[in-house]
């Protein structure tokens, strides 16, 4: 039972941590970030199993984390009011060519980073953008002016 409780806590902690880190950072992993994720995984494993290398420990820890993921997915699907908490909401970054600095600051983005993403979508200036939205996946969607 101890492993199940530890796995449930690890899941909740990782879920909380990813919400704090922000979606933009998670969508663009640099090599250092990938290494840090691997190290974090090892640290979590050590905290969950406390050096229990048995098959039972593995099944209990992995099963608990998988069940919690299914539960979060179900809650997200079933209860509309929980979606902003569990999944987040899209955030408008540019509206009618005007950069919304407050929203950029909230997501720790610079106008240059948004413009870089816009250029990758064949948009060369903010004036061409009717709407730029940071999606819950971390990607930026652009709707251009006609």
What distance in Å separates the CA atoms of residue 47 and residue 29, rounded to the nearest whole number? 25
- What's residue 126's pLDDT? 94
Distance from the Cα of residue 3 to its chain's centroid:
26
Q: Could you read off the pLDDT of 55-74 as tens digits, one per residue?
A: 777 778 878 888 888 888 88
Place of tokens 């060519």: 97
Which of 52-56, 92-96, 112-116 shows the lowest per-residue confidence on average (mean pLDDT)?
52-56
120 vs 28, more confident: 120
| 43: three-class secondary structure by DSSP | helix
pLDDT at residue 33, as a whole number: 65
* 7-27 confidence digits (pLDDT tens): 888 888 888 877 776 655 555
Cα–Cα distance for residue pair 71/103, rounded to 1 Å:
30
Q: Give this prediction's pTM.
A: 0.66
Provide the pLDDT for residue 34.
64
Strands (E), 22-136: 91-95, 98-99, 129-134
Taking residues 136-146, what's their average pLDDT? Answer: 88
What class does CATH assign to 91-144?
Answer: alpha beta
pLDDT at 36 over 70: no
88 token code pair: 């987040």
For residue 140, give the H/E element and its range. strand 140-144
Q: Where are the domains of the chain?
A: 2-86, 91-144
Q: In angstroms, rounded to a whole number, what is the distance separating the alpha carbons of residues 34 and 146? A: 39
Which pLDDT tens digit goes with each residue over 81-105?
A: 998 888 888 999 999 999 999 999 9
């Amino acid at each position: 039972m101890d492993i199940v409780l530890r796995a449930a806590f690890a899941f909740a902690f990782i879920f909380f941590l990813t919400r704090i880190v922000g979606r933009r950072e998670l969508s663009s992993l640099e090599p250092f970030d990938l290494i840090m994720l691997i190290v974090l995984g090892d640290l979590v494993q050590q905290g969950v199993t406390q050096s229990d290398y048995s098959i039972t420990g593995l099944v209990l820890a992995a099963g608990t984390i998988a069940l919690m993921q299914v539960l979060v997915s179900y809650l997200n699907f079933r209860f509309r009011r929980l979606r902003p908490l569990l999944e987040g909401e899209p955030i408008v970054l540019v509206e009618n060519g005007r950069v919304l600095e407050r929203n950029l600051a909230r997501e720790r983005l610079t106008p240059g980073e948004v413009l870089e993403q816009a250029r990758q979508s064949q948009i060369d200036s903010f004036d061409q953008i009717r709407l730029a939205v940071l999606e819950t996946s971390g990607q930026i969607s652009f709707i251009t002016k006609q």
